Amino acid sequence: MQVIAKRPETLTAEPFTYCPGCTHGIATRLIAEAIEEQGLINLMAGVAPVGCAVFAYKFFNFDMAEAAHGRAPAVATGMKRGRPNMHIFTYQGDGDLAAIGTAEIVHAANRGEHISVFFINNAIYGMTGGQMAPTTLAGMKTTTSPYGRNPEDIGYPIRMCELLSSLVAPYYIERVSLLSPGDILRAKKAVNKAIQYNKEEKGFTFVELISTCPTNWGFDPDKAREWAKENMLPYYKLGVYRDKGEGVE
């Protein structure tokens, strides 16, 4: 019998704890595949966030640390500097990375730490019950913005790729989405590139993955993807924001 699809060696057999239709599982799989394809299973370690993806430390089949909320880039900095021969990534949501962890991500990027950061942006706090995040769109209703986010009061959603692109040190910054099979293939390329640059010790790499949260948005998975295409993509523009390897500054 011929094997045409199997679980990457870089994933454990632990069942994912994500809601049906959530795109976290896809992101996790893409990262695992990239690590396997780059032959890094024995030299990779990661940092799990606080939030829906906290159990990332159970899913990836190598050493994983859990960081306090938002502190994954700081923990990853320590891991990389303490084990320079290893390759380190963080997996973080927008509540983790763009709210409580804003200082950590900005300074890790500014120092040009040799780590990869995978940033799952679904414009909401998922695990804690659908509260407004810094990435929540203007007018978007959440449990803590029941009349819709009012930028006059709360400010505008933070665009992390654009913000980090203002720094000199980062080597690679790209925003992709997980909203269609084509998008997922493009996301896979971006994730692969980040892991490849990580392997080559090029510097700080950052991939933002526009994702959905059907449970807290109150849509079924199909509607959630359509909603994200119509509402998130015009504000969170996909593309390469920095790629020093390809001359994109």
Partner 1 sequence: MILADGMLGQMMEPVEFKPAKTQEELDALANQHLSWCICPNADGDAKHHHEINSLELDPEILEKKVSKLYEKYAEVEKNEVRYETYNLSDDNEILCVAWGTAARVVKSAINELVAQGKSIGLVRPITCWPYPYEAIASAIGPKVKKVYVFELNSGQMVEDVMIAVNGKVPVDFWGKLGGIVFTPADIQAKLEACF
Candidates 16, 25, 37, 58; binder of partner 1 (CB under 8 A) is: 58
62 binds partner 1 (CB under 8 A): yes
Rounded Cα distance, 244 and 249, in Å? 6
43 binds partner 1 (CB under 8 A): yes
Q: Are strands 115-121 and 87-93 parallel, antiparallel or unpaired?
A: parallel
Under rule CB under 8 A, how many of the chain's residues touch partner 1? 22
Candidates 18, 57, 119, 236; binder of partner 1 (CB under 8 A) is: 57
Among residues 100, 102, 75, the alpha carbon closest in space to that of 90 is found at 75
CB of 44 to partner 1, least distance (A): 8
123 binds partner 1 (CB under 8 A): no
Cα 144 off chain centre by: 23
Q: Which is nearer to partner 1, 80 or 175 (CB)?
A: 80
Stretch of 61-69, 97-105, 113-121, 176-184 contacting partner 1, by CB under 8 A: 61-69
Rounded Cα distance, 75 and 96, in Å? 14
Binding mask 73-102 for partner 1 (x = CB under 8 A): ------x--xx-xx----------------
243's enclosing H/E stretch is strand 239-243
Q: Are the beta carbons of 170 and 119 closer than 8 angstroms?
A: no
Residue 128 CB partners (closer than 8 Å, separation 6+): 51, 95
Rounded Cα distance, 181 and 91, in Å? 22
15 binds partner 1 (CB under 8 A): no
61 binds partner 1 (CB under 8 A): yes
Residue where the block lists tokens 């606080």:
50
Binding mask 152-181 for partner 1 (x = CB under 8 A): ------------------------------
Residue 61 CB partners (closer than 8 Å, separation 6+): 9, 10, 11, 12, 32, 41
Q: Which is nearer to partner 1, 86 or 158 (CB)?
A: 86
Q: Which is nearer to partner 1, 118 or 241 (CB)?
A: 118
Q: Are the beta carbons of 210 and 231 closer than 8 angstroms?
A: no
66 binds partner 1 (CB under 8 A): yes
Please give the residue ranges that form the binding site for partner 1 (CB under 8 A): 12, 41-45, 48, 54, 57-58, 60-66, 79, 82-83, 85-86
